[in-house]
Amino acid sequence: MSTIPPPAPIDRIVKRDGREVGYDRDRIATAIFKAAAAVGGSDRSTADELALKVERVLAQTYGEQSIPTVEDVQDVVEETLINEGHARTARAYIRYRTQRAEARAQRRTQGQYIDNVPYKKIYDVLCWNIDHGCDTVDGINRLIAAGEYPELVRAAEKRYDEEVALGAERMLERIPGIRIVIIAGPSSSGKTTTTIKASERLKAAGMALKAINVDHYFFDLEMHPKDEFGDYDYETPQALDLELINQHLAALLAGQTIKTPHYDFKSGKRTLDVHEMHLADNEIVLIDSLHGLYEAMTRSIPAAQKFRLYIETLGQVRTREGLFMRWADNRLMRRMIRDSWHRNLQPLQTLTHWHYVRRSELRNIIPFIDSVDYVVNSAMPHELPIMKDRLFRYFPEAMKNYQDDPKRQDAYIRAKRVHDLLEYLTPVTDDQPIPPTSLLREFIGGSQYEY
């Protein structure tokens, strides 16, 4: 008696941009679990079973000769949820899918920007990486194996320094009109080091500079909002004393002397009237802040007197599956390392806190990028092997801890994505090739700058 062979396994799928990438059932299970959690579900094992049923339908439908698209997969997910009696979860999944489609359509109408980041800048970064053989995980591995890692470090550091120098030149072209330079960007993009380097360039041109540390304007930690986990939110601009910042900026530009506060991150307490500050006639205020583009932070200063520089990790490194590393994941790894020694937080605490970071960035930073005067890319392809050595061990633990927790799916998804990026990357244990002036030292320690 003849038997029907089992369906061929799904190996690849086609993304919306036409690229083929590896199929991953876990992504389907996680999407189903998130939809179920949105309507009160909490059973990860059911999501896993449904994802397997989706896979079987896909295999029966497409077999060995065809490769389903992302849209095909999502269609089958919807059909399976309904057929298996999970109508409420299906509605939540359809609603999420519709919202994502609307967001993509909106981005297509934004002209030269994707999420307010210019096409040309991204293209330039990708070309630089291709030219230097570091646009893929395997390419970076080859450089390490060939003993060329130190040369990659030198080239990337030189590129970043030159970008900052050009930004400083743009500032000088606007003097004497500008009175404040704002260096802004999302968390762990390298704002502080960029501020220092820009300051050095401006000083070399004869300008005296004064940096105001906005971090000292945090309210006491007990005044910060909390979420359902009881975590404090440092990432909202409302955690800062915006009114006092504006008062101090206006006073400085009027020639008055101020005393800025001092904030202790370990105790979560602020002390007022600590650091005295005054501007001479030829000095410019420098603001290095996560929320520097947030209008309410500097509303007391006319727009013509402000120069806005935006910094972001615009890295263009692809995994073995051809997927580009998320910029936010690059910054997450930086912050996991820095928080462990600077803010006394364990790496997994930073990971579970990251939903605050992204929410605030999308609300208070991203919408204003298209109004900046200059953009700097702070991504360093040579930092990824350093991150692999110092952080990789945490991600399997995070995946295990959070996979079945409906409230921690954001942390699980990020942990798995970073794990998959780093899994095949060769780690670099010795950070000696990283110079003491490197932006990376802001996060791993050993910088010659004082932060």
Please give the distance of CA 63 from its chain centroid, rounded to a whole number: 38
Q: Report yes or no: 372 and 293 within 8 Å, Cβ to Cβ.
A: yes
When the pLDDT of each residue in the chain is averaged and rounded to a whole number, the result is: 88
Any idea which of 106-110, 142-146, 405-409, 417-421 has the lowest mean pLDDT? Answer: 106-110
pLDDT over 70 percentage in the chain: 91
Helices and strands, counts by H and E, the chain: 15, 11
Q: Over range 84-107, report the average pLDDT.
A: 81
Secondary structure in 3-state letters for 215-259: HHHECCHHHCCECCCCCECCCCHHHECHHHHHHHHHHHHCCCCEE
CA–CA dist 113, 116 (Å, integer): 5
SS3 106: helix
The amino acid at 427: P
H/E stretch holding 272: strand 269-277
Helices 394-402, 409-422: inter-axial angle, 10-degree rounding: 150
CA–CA dist 50, 35 (Å, integer): 12
- Cα 263 to Cα 165, 221, 372, 397: the distances in Å are 31, 10, 28, 33
pLDDT > 70? residue 107: no
Enter the pTM of the model.
Answer: 0.78
Confidence of residue 333 (pLDDT cuts 50, 70, 90): very high
List the structure tokens of 93.
């999944």
Model pLDDT, residue 219: 93
